Amino acid sequence: MPIRWRLTLFIALVIGAILLALGLALLFFVQEALLSGVEDTARSRALEAAETMESGETLEGEETERLTLDGIFVVVRDGEGGILTQTVNLPSRMEESETAWSQALQGGSPAEDTVEISDETPVYVYAVPVDPAEGPARVVEAGQSYEATHGTIETFGKVLIAVILGAFLLSVGGAYLLARAALSPVGAVAASARKITESDLSDRLPVTNPKDEIGGLASTINGLLSRLEAAFARREEALRKQEEALSSQRRFAADASHELRTPLTNIEGYSEMLKEWALRDPETARESVDAIGDESKRMREMVESLLSLARGDEGAPLELESQDIDAVVADAVRNARAAAGSKVTIKYRLPEGKLVAAFDRARVHQAISILLDNAIKYTPEGGEVRVEARERGSRAEIVVSDTGVGLPEEQLPLVFERFYRVDKARTRGGAGLGLAIARQIAEAHGGGIEAQSEPGRGSTFVLRIPLSGPTS
């Protein structure tokens, strides 16, 4: 059974029980009031008649009419129970009945009784003993039949039953409307919930009144939907990143294979040449051996770069230590000057004050060396490379600028990609992995790297590292 009908039935039963209880209570009180009215009237008329008799007067004329209003009958008896005076509305065979008058005579005090006279309605009788100054009267009876009262009670009962049935039917209708109104938000919530699918979790359930139970439930479900939507978004983002990582790995493997193939092919070619005929020509043999050594060195450097990138991709832990950046930069500059010789001039601007940060010395030294090697490589002979270490807010910056060939602006975002080389003018050895390694080192420390360049006027690379080290 639907909740609406169960709720309607429950409310109807509760209201029906309340109406029945109220109806029975009302009927009881009305019945008691009407019966008490009959008895009170009979008692008051009996006492008035007794006072009249004791005063020496007789029950005649207007006095009798007054006493017998409302269907009251009055009977005056002597000491033997004989009727001395009676009113015309005395019930049949009432004069032969021994009712309360005998108890009043014997006890000397008022008495009451309910008398069943044949098949007629019971009659209430109230008897009062009297002691008139003269005359045979000894007791006065006054009574009234319950017939009219019972009729009134019966009529009232029928009306009451009709009213209760009508009120019950109205309560059923009202309960149904109330249940429908109370549960209408549930229908709206269900209809909205049916529209929400796995592919679209952006819809939300309507919240008519957030302070009631249904509004609270809808708000809770909306919160659940928000969390599910966020979880699905994170899942899709993770899948996207995973797909990008797989694509990058496939591209990385293909590029690495391509880059390694060249030196391996050269080594194989020179080896075959040495094997077949170059050994007979010492000069050619020496050139072949030198070429094999160069290609081997190139391949070793490439493999080391690939291993460095692979360790960074796996999240190799950093050996963090609070130390002076100036010492690391100065050491890298010293090594770069030795490697560059007289080709270019390398100038280093010391930081203002001591510049201390938490970083992995070997990895940061490697990144600075890559930037210096890159600047020397693409700066013409007689050019200049400038290096500066400085503090900017909560970060340390190592700036490497050169007066080399420069880069087009549209190619700047690509120079940090693996195996990327701009054009033939900049392809002077290497596999295009150095800047990718430098960026990986900077990001592992919670920092970053950026490039600024202009063709023909040189390039500037800025390596940034947080002074407090990585945040996570």
Mean pLDDT of 238-244: 80
Q: What is the mean pLDDT of the chain?
A: 79
Strand order from edge to edge, sheet including 83-86:
83-86, 73-77, 139-145, 123-129, 111-115
Residue 472 within any structural domain of the chain: no
CATH number of the domain residue 142 falls in: 3.30.450.20
Rounded to whole angstroms, how far apart are CA atoms 196 and 188?
13
Residue 184 within any structural domain of the chain: no
Residue 110 predicted with pLDDT over 70: yes
Residue 411 within any structural domain of the chain: yes
Residue 189 predicted with pLDDT over 70: no
Distance of CA 1 to the CA centre of its chain: 29
Residue 183 has a pLDDT of 67
> Which domain-ending residue is among 153, 186, 208?
153
Residue 209 within any structural domain of the chain: no
Residue 217 within any structural domain of the chain: no
Residue 372 predicted with pLDDT over 70: yes
List the end-to-end C-alpha distance of the chain, in Å, as a whole number: 57
Residue 426 has a pLDDT of 42
CATH number of the domain residue 456 falls in: 3.30.565.10
| Count of structural domains within the chain | 2
SS3 for the chain, per residue? CCHHHHHHHHHHHHHHHHHHHHHHHHHHHHHHHHHHHHHHHHHHHHHHHHHHHHCCCCCCCHHHHHHCHHHCEEEEECCCCCEEEECCCCCCCHHHCCCHHHHHHHHCCCEEEEECCCCCCCEEEEEEECCCCCCCCCEEEEEEECHHHHHHHHHHHHHHHHHHHHHHHHHHHHHHHHHHHHHHHHHHHHHHHHHCECCECCCCCCCCCCCCHHHHHHHHHHHHHHHHHHHHHHHHHHHHHHHHHHHHHHHHHHHHHHHHHHHHHHHHHHHHHHHHCHHHCHHHHHHHHHHHHHHHHHHHHHHHHHHHHHHHHCCCCCCEEEEEHHHHHHHHHHHHHHHHCCCCEEEEECCCCCCEEEEEHHHHHHHHHHHHHHHHHCCCCCCEEEEEEEEECCEEEEEEEECCCCCCHHHHHHCCCCCCCCCHHHCCCCCCCHHHHHHHHHHHCCCEEEEEEECCCEEEEEEEEECCCCCC
Residue 74: CB atoms within 10 A of its CB come to 24
- Amino acid of residue 33: A
Residue 176 within any structural domain of the chain: no
Mean pLDDT of 287-302: 76
> Which domain-ending residue is among 153, 177, 203?
153
Residue 268 predicted with pLDDT over 60: yes
* % of the chain residues with pLDDT over 90: 11
Residue 223 predicted with pLDDT over 70: yes
Residue 216 within any structural domain of the chain: no
Q: How confident is the model at residue 184 (pLDDT cuts 50, 70, 90)?
A: low
Region of poorest pLDDT, from 119-128, 176-185, 374-383: 176-185
Residues spanned by the domain of 365:
318-466
> Per-residue pLDDT tens for 192-216?
666 666 656 666 666 666 666 667 7
Rounded to whole angstroms, how far apart are CA atoms 323 and 358?
6
> Per-residue pLDDT tens for 331-352?
999 999 988 888 899 999 888 8
Residue 143 has a pLDDT of 83
Rounded to whole angstroms, how far apart are CA atoms 146 and 24?
20
> Per-residue pLDDT tens for 6-58?
777 887 888 888 888 888 898 888 888 888 888 888 888 888 888 877 777 77
Q: How confident is the model at residue 400 (pLDDT cuts 50, 70, 90)?
A: very high
Rounded to whole angstroms, how far apart are CA atoms 110 and 104?
5
> Which domain-ending residue is among 153, 181, 198?
153
Residue 64 within any structural domain of the chain: yes
Residue 95 predicted with pLDDT over 60: no
> Per-residue pLDDT tens for 117-154?
665 678 888 888 888 767 787 888 888 887 888 888 88
Residue 213 has a pLDDT of 65
Rounded to whole angstroms, how far apart are CA atoms 364 and 381?
27
Burial 92-108 (b: 16+ CB within 10 A, else e): eebeeeebbbebbbeee
